[in-house]
Amino acid sequence: MNIDIAVFLASMMVAATPVIFAAIGELVVEKSGVLNLGVEGMMITGAICGFILANATGSVFLGVVAAAIGGALLSLIFATLTQFLLSNQVATGLALTLFGIGLAALLGKPYEGVRVDVIQPISIPVLSDIPVLGTILFSHDPLLYFGLFIVFAVWWFLTKTRGGLILRAVGESHDAAHALGYNVVRVRILAIMFGGACAGLGGAYLSLLRVPQWTENVTAGVGWIALAIVVFASWKPGRLLIGAYLFGGIGFLQLHLQVENVPIPVEVLNASPYIATIIALVILSAGKSGRSNAAPAALGQPFHASR
Amino acid sequence: MITLEKRPEPSRGWSLATPLLAVILTVLAGGLVFAALGYDPVATIRAIFYEPIFGQNSFYYLPQLLVKAGPLILIANGLAIGFRAGIWNIGAEGQYIMGAIFAAAAGLAFYPSESFLIWPLMITAGAVGGLLWALIPAILRVKFGTNEILVSLMLVYVAENILSSAAVSWLRNPEGMGFPGSRNLSQWDAASNPEIIAGTGMHWGVAAACIAVILAYVLMARHILGFQIRLAGQSPRAAAFSGVNPARLVLICMGVAGLLAGLAGMFEVTGPARKISIDFNVGYGFTAIIVAFLGRLHPIGILLAGLLMGLTYIGGEVAQQSLGLPLAAIQLFQGMLLFFLLAVDVLTHYRPKRTQRAAS
Amino acid sequence: MTETLLAINGLTKAYPGVVANDDVSFEINRGEVHALLGENGAGKSTLVKAIYGLVKPDAGTMALNGVPYAPAEPSAARSAGVTMVFQHFSLFDALNVAENIALGMDHPPKMTDLAARIRDVSQGYGLPLDPDRIVGDLSAGERQRVEIIRCLLQDPKLLIMDEPTSVLTPQEVDILFATLRKLRDEGTSILYISHKLEEIRALCETATILRLGKVVGGCDPRETSAGDMAEMMVGSALKVPSKPEATTGDVRLSLTGLSAPAPHAFGTALRGITVDVMAGEVLGIGGVAGNGQDELLLAMSGEMPVNPQMIRLSGKPIGDWAVNTRRAAGLLAAPEERLGHAAAPVMSLTENAALTGTTRKGLASHGMINWARARAFAEDIIRSFDVRTPSAANAAQSLSGGNLQKFVIGREILQEPDVLVVNQPTWGVDASAAAAIRQALLDLASGGAAVIVISQDLDELMEISDRFAALNQGELSEPRPAKGLTVEDIGLMLGGASASEGQSA
C-alpha cells in the first residue's frame, strides 16, 4: 500500500470539513451553556435543504445558503423549547435529531439518487503551483476555506471581543450574567441559531460535495462525532481543528484501505472512525484535569429568571 | 406578556394531562403537515389512528400492534430507569442488535439440536449481549468519566457493522445460496418465539414486556434502589449525602437498560424478524426514547405510550398502503409528538401568568 | 450635606403568596451611609433589586436627584450612577479579574487599559487586586474586592452593598469600612444592607428598618442601642438559648492529621486537622467562607472518604467508611446547603426523611422501603421541631428556609446520634427558628452527644460553643475554651494569614 502524502493530507482536510462546520457551531452553543444533541438532525436537514435548492436553481451557492438557513430554522425549535419552555436539553436535542432525520427522509424522497453539480475546487494562482504544499493547502473548494475561516473567526470572537466575553460569561454562570443585566436567553438563542446554521453548512458539504447525490443516510453519525470532537477539543477552537483532522485522516485511510482490498474486513474499517472516536474520548477524559480544560460551568442547566 | 412562575410543587393534574394534550396537538399539527404534503388530513389521521383498531382489517393489524409495542415497551422501561437517574443511555439500538446477535449465535452453535435447553440459552445469551454492550459505556464513564451519551451512540454504529458482518459471513445460512442472512430461527422449533395464543400477536417478548412493566413499577415505587435512582436524578449531591454510590448506579442503570434491550432483540430475531439480516434493526432503540418520555418515565405510562407508538407504526403502514403516505412522514410525526410533549411539559412545573410590562 | 439623592415613594412588589415590599418609602441623602436593616425575608433584597433595575415594582415611584427614576434593567441603573455589590451570584469563577470587571461595565476600556486602571484604583482604595488572576482562585474577601472595584470604576453616585461583611474576617471588615468612609467623604452615597447591628452602629448615619416588607421605622444608629434596633427589626423579644455548664465525657470523635485534596477545581484542601471532641460538648468551628468548611463536612459525612486512621469514632478508625455505615455507627451530619444537598428539592418530606433515616430508623427491609414508617418518621420530625407545612407529602422546596432547616436538623437529631456535625445550621433562617435550632443542638449535647457546629456566624458560635477553633485555608487552629475569648482573639484565630495577605497581594 502506498499513499501519496500530499493527496492524503489534502483528502484529510476535505473529509474533516463537515465535522469542522458542525463542531465549531456546537462549540459556540456549548460555550453559551447549552447542550444541543440535535447536531445530527440539523446537519441532515441542512443537507437536504441545500440539495433541493441546488437542484432547483442549479446554483450550488444558493444551496449552501439554504442549508445554513434550514439548519438555523430547525435549531429554532430547539431554542424555543429549551429557552422559553424550559424543556430538558438532552431530551429535546434527541428529539431534534429524530425529527430532523424524519424530515430529511421525507423531503428527500423524490431526490433519491439524483445528482447535482458540485462545488468546484479553486486553484489559488501561484500558491497552488507550489509542489506538495500547493496540493495540500491551495487547491480546495471555497467552502473548505470558509470552514477554516469560521474556526478562526470563532476563536477571535470568543477570546478578543466583548460579545465573546458575554457569551462565555453566560455559559459560566447564567445567574451572575442575569444579575449584571445580560439577556441570557437572547444570547443563548443566537448561539443556538449559529450552531444550527453551521451544522446545516456541514450537511451541505456532505450532500453537495462529498457525496454529490442524495442518499437517505448521508450524515451517518457525523453530527454525533462533531459532538464528541467538541468534548475532545476541551471547548477550544484550535484543538477542535486537530480533532477534526484526526477524524478526517482515519476516515480517508479506511476508505483507502477498502479500495486497496487490504485483508481487513470491511465492517472493521467502516466501524473504525466510531471506535477511534470512543478511544479518543476515553484518552481525553482519563487524562483531563485542571480548570482550563473544563466544560462551561452552566452547560446543560436550564435558566429561569426568578426573583 | 406572559411569564412563567415556578410552582412550589409539580402539578399532578398537569403531569397526567400533558401527554394527552401533546397527542392532541400532534394530531392537529400532523394534519397540517399531511395537508401541506398534499394528503387529505382527515383521511390520513383516520388511517393512522382509527383503521388499525376499528377498521375492517383490524383483525390483521391489532396483533401487529402488540408485536410493535412489545419491544418498544421492553426497551423504554430499561431506558427510563437510567433517564430517571440522569444517566443517558441512547445506544439502546446497538444493545438491541447485540442481544439478537448473541442469541442467534448461541442458538445456531447447536443447530439443528432440538434440546429444550436451546431456548433458555438463547434468552440468556440475548440478555448478556445487550448487557455487555451497555456496560462498555457504563464502565468507561465510571472509570474515566467518559460521556456515556456519545459512547453509547458510537457503539450503535459499531453494532450495525457487526450485524452486517454476521449477516454476510459468520452467521450466514450455509444453505442460503449465498444470500446474506442467517438461518430462519422461527422455523426451528427449539429456537422459535411463536405467538403464545395464535392470532393475537402475543409472543414471549410481549409477555416479557408486561413483566418488565410490573418489575419496574415495584422497583421505582417501593425498592430502595428505585428511591436512590430518583434521588440521583433529581439532586446528585443529596444522593451522595444519602449514601448512594454513583458508580454503582451507573453500572446498574446502564446494565438493566442493556439487558432489556438485548432481550427485546432476542425475542425479535427469533420471532417477528425470523433471522439475522442486514436490515434487522428498524430503529426501535431510538423510538423507545420517545416512548420513555411520552410515558413520563413511568412504567404504566410507558405501557400506554408503547401501545400508542406501536399504533403510529401500524397506522403509518396503513396510510402508506391506502394513501401512499411515505413512511418517513411517520418518523416526522413521532418526532413532533416528542416535541409537543416536551413543550407542554412546562405546565407541570410552571404556571403561566399574565404580567403587565413595567409599572410606573 | 442633606440633599436628597434617591427618594423612594410607595414602592410595592408582590410575589405569589408573599408581599415582598409593601408601600415602602424613604430617602437617601447625598454623601451618607444609609443602613437598610431587617431580618431574612423582610424584603431588603427585593427592594435593592428594584433600585438596581433587576425587579420591576408593581407600584410606587423613585426619583434620583429629583428626576423620575425607573430603571428597566441594570445597565440603565448603572448609567444613572447606581451600582451594586452583590451578596452572591455575580462573579464568574472561570474568568479572570479584568474580564469579570469588564462584564460589569457598560463601556469598558480596552483590556490593557482596564488592567492598569484596576491596579490604580484598587491600590488607591487600599484593596489591592491582580487583574490577571482567575476569580475562582481568590478568597472570599478578594472576590468581594473585585465587585467593589467594578463599581468604583464607574464613578457611582450610589453604591448598594448587600450583606458585604458576611464573608469577611474582622480585620477585613476594618479595611472595608475604611474604604467606605473614604468613598462617603468623596460624596458617594452608600446603601448598606445588613442585619448585623454593631456594624451598622459603627458605620452608618441613618437607618431604615424593614419588617415583613414594610418600613417600621428609621433611626440614627449612632444614637440608638442595638437592643432597640433589634426590637424594631424582630418585633418581639427573642429567646436566647440557655447554655448549661457542659459536663464532658469520653472522646467520641477524634481527627488525627485529617488531610484531603480539594474535591473540585475551586475547592479547598484539608491540611492536617487534628482535634478531639468529647461527649457532651459543643465544638464551634469558625472561619470565613471557603476555608474548608464544606470539605470538612464531606470528610465527616463520608461523601469524601479519607485514610481510615484520620477519623476515629469512639476509637474505631472509620475514615474510609461509607456514608450509611457511619450513620449506623452513630456519626450523623447536616450539610450547609439545604436544598439540593441536605434535602432533595422536589421530593416530599416523607421521601426526604428516608433520605438519611433509612438505616437508623429501620425504614427498609429486604430492600423495600416501608413508606408508612417513613411518613411516620417525617411527621415525628414535623411535630417535634415545629416545622410549618400542610403535610409530610409536601415538597421540600415548598417550605421556607427556616422550616426546612428545622426539618433537616430535626431529622438528624431524632436519629439520636453519638456525634453530630452541622455546617451553617442557621444560615438564612429567621431569628425564632434559629433560636430553636440552637437550643436543640444544646439539648443534644447535654444529652451526651458530641456536637460540632461549623458556622460563619461568630455570635452564634460564642453563644453555644464550649470550645472554639477556626478554619483557615484548610487548617484548623488549636481549639480554645469559648468563655473569655475576645473579638480580637477570634479575629487572629480566623485569619492572621488572610489579614496580612491584604497588604502583600
- From CA B290, how far away is CA B342, in angstroms rounded? 10
pLDDT for position B357: 46
Flag if A277 and B150 touch (Cβ within 8 Å). Answer: yes
Model confidence at C500: pLDDT above 50: no
pLDDT of residue A290: 57
pLDDT on residue C114: 92
Q: Strand C33-37 relative to strand C189-194: parallel, antiparallel, unpaired?
A: parallel
Decide: A242 and A294 in contact? Cβ < 8 Å. no
Q: Is C39 in contact with C17 (CB distance < 8 Å)?
A: no
Contact C21, C213 (CB under 8 A): yes
Q: Which three cell numbers stand for residue C433?
A: 427558628
User: Residues of chain C whose C-beta is under 8 A from some C-beta in B?
Assistant: 16, 56-61, 70, 72, 301-303, 322-324, 327, 333, 335, 337, 340-347, 351, 354-356, 358-359, 364, 367-369, 371, 394-395, 397-398
Please state whether beta strands C206-211 and C270-278 pair in parallel, antiparallel, or not at all (unpaired).
Answer: unpaired
CA distance B290 to chain A (A): 8
Chain B residue closest in CA terms to A41: B335
Contact B331 A267 (CB under 8 A): no
Instruction: Look at residue C372 in the predicted model and tell me its pLDDT.
Output: 95
At C467 the pLDDT is 93
How would DSSP label each residue in B32-77? HHHHHTTS-HHHHHHHHHTHHHHSTTHHHHHHHHHHHHHHHHHHHH
Answer yes or no: are the C-beta atoms of A173 and A299 closer than 8 Å: no
Provide the b/e sequence for C288-323 (b: ≥16 CB within 10 Å): bbbbbbbbbbbbbbbbbbbeeebbbbbeeebbebeb
Task: Please report residues of A whose CB lies closer than 8 A to that of B343.
Answer: 80-81, 85, 87
Over 60: is that where the pLDDT of C383 sits?
Answer: yes
Instruction: Determine the residue of chain B that is closest to C398 in CA distance.
Output: B8
In degrees and rounded to multiples of 5, residue C306 shows phi and psi of -130, -175
- For residue B104, being part of any structural domain is answered with yes
Residue B311 located in a structural domain:
no
What are the structural domains of chain C? 4-234 (3.40.50.300), 251-504 (3.40.50.300)
Helix (H) or strand (E) holding C148: helix C140-152
What are φ and ψ of residue C399, in 5° steps?
-85, 155
> Positive or negative CA dihedral for A283, A93, B160, A216?
negative
E strand map for C343-387: 364-365, 368-369
- Provide mean pLDDT across the span C13-32: 85
Give the residue among A26, A303, A73 at the shortest CA–CA distance from A174.
Answer: A303
Instruction: Give the model's pLDDT for residue C88.
Output: 64
Phi and psi for B25 in degrees, rounded to 5?
-60, -40
d(CA B87, CA C367): 22
Q: What is the pLDDT of residue C356?
A: 95
List of chain B residues whose C-beta atoms are within 8 Å of the C-beta of residue A37: 149
By C-alpha distance, the chain A residue nearest C88 is A176
pLDDT digits (tens, 9 = 90+) for C230-247: 777 766 554 556 676 777
The reply to whether residue C364 touches residue B224, judged by beta carbons under 8 angstroms, is yes
pLDDT score, position C277:
95
Q: Degrees (nearest 5) of the Cα angle B142, B143, B146?
A: 70
| Residue A118, CA distances (Å) to A48, A59, A210 in order | 14, 9, 9
- What share of chain C has pLDDT > 90, as a percent? 50
Pair B284, B71: CB distance under 8 Å: yes
- pTM (two decimals): 0.87
Q: Does B145 touch chain C (CB under 8 A)?
A: no
> How many of the other CB atoms lie within 10 Å of CB of B247?
13
pLDDT at B359: 37
The ipTM is: 0.89
Residue B144 domain flag: yes
The values of phi and psi at residue C68, to 5°, are -55, 135
The three grid cell numbers given for residue C315, joined into one nine-digit string: 476509637
Whether residue B287 is contained in a domain is answered as yes
C407 contact A CB<8A: no
pLDDT band at C347 (very low <50, low <70, confident <90, very high): very high
Q: Which of C25, C14, C157 is nearest to C84 (CA)?
A: C157
B201 belongs to a structural domain: yes
Whether B168 is covered by a domain: the verdict is: yes
Least Cα separation, residue B189 to chain A (angstroms):
32
A181 to C74: CB separation less than 8 angstroms, yes or no: yes
Flag whether B23 is in a domain.
no
Residues in chain B, pLDDT under 70: 1, 355-360
Query: Which contacts (CB < 8 Å, 24+ apart) does range B291-295 have?
Result: B291/B72, B291/B73, B291/B75, B291/B76, B292/B76, B292/B77, B292/B79, B292/B80, B292/B83, B293/A91, B293/B83, B293/B338, B293/B341, B293/B342, B294/B19, B294/B22, B294/B337, B294/B338, B294/B341, B295/B19, B295/B76, B295/B80
Question: Does residue C311 surpass a pLDDT of 90?
Answer: yes
Indicate whether C195 pLDDT > 90: no
Q: In what order do the strands lie in the sheet with C270-278?
A: C270-278, C251-260, C311-313, C316-317
Query: In terms of residue numbers, what domain contains B92?
Result: 65-215+236-291
- For the record, the C-alpha cell of C213 comes out as 416588607
Helices (H), chain B: 12-36, 41-49, 51-54, 58-84, 92-108, 118-144, 148-165, 204-221, 224-234, 236-242, 246-270, 284-294, 299-323, 327-344, 346-349
- For the record, the C-alpha cell of A22 comes out as 458542525
Q: Please state whether C423 falls in left (phi above 0), alpha (psi between -120 and 50) or beta.
A: beta
B55 belongs to a structural domain: no
Backbone φ and ψ for C168, nearest 5 degrees, come out as -115, 150
Bridge-based pairing of strands C311-313 and C251-260 is: antiparallel
Max Cα–Cα distance, chain A, nearest Å: 67
Q: Which residues of chain A have pLDDT under 70?
A: 1-3, 118-120, 122-123, 288-293, 305-307
Q: A270 and B286: CB-CB below 8 Å?
A: no
Give the number of domains in chain B: 1
Query: CA C222: distance to chain centroid?
Result: 26
Residues near C65 by beta carbon (within 8 Å), at least 6 away in sequence: C5, C157
Q: Quick one: average pLDDT of C297-325? A: 95
Per mean pLDDT, which range of A19-28, B186-195, C194-203, C277-286 is the poorest? Answer: C194-203
Is there a contact between C86 and A291 if contact means CB atoms under 8 Å apart?
no
DSSP assignment string, A44-103? HHHHHHHHHHHHHHS-HHHHHHHHHHHHHHHHHHHHIIIIIS---HHHHHHHHHHHHHHH
Contact check, Cβ <8 Å, C103/A297: no
- Contact C57/B223, CB-based, under 8 Å? no
The pLDDT confidence band at residue C497, using thresholds 50, 70 and 90, is very low
Q: How far does the CA of residue C342 sit from the closest CA of chain B (Å)?
A: 6
Residue whose entry in the numeric block shows the C-alpha cell 415525628: C380
Amino acid identity, position B217: Y
C315: left (phi over 0), alpha (psi -120 to 50) or beta: left
> How far is Cα B161 from Cα A254, in angstroms, rounded to an integer?
14
Which of C164, C165, C39 has the alpha carbon at shortest distance from C435? C39
* C73–A179 CB contact, under 8 Å: no
A247-251, B153-157, C13-17, C106-110: range with lowest mean pLDDT: C13-17
Domains of chain A: 5-293 (1.10.3470)
Q: How far apart are CA B118 and CA B103, in angstroms?
A: 10
The SS3 call for residue C248 is coil
Q: Does the distance separating the beta carbons of C58 and B359 come in below 8 Å?
A: yes
pLDDT at position C279 over 80: yes
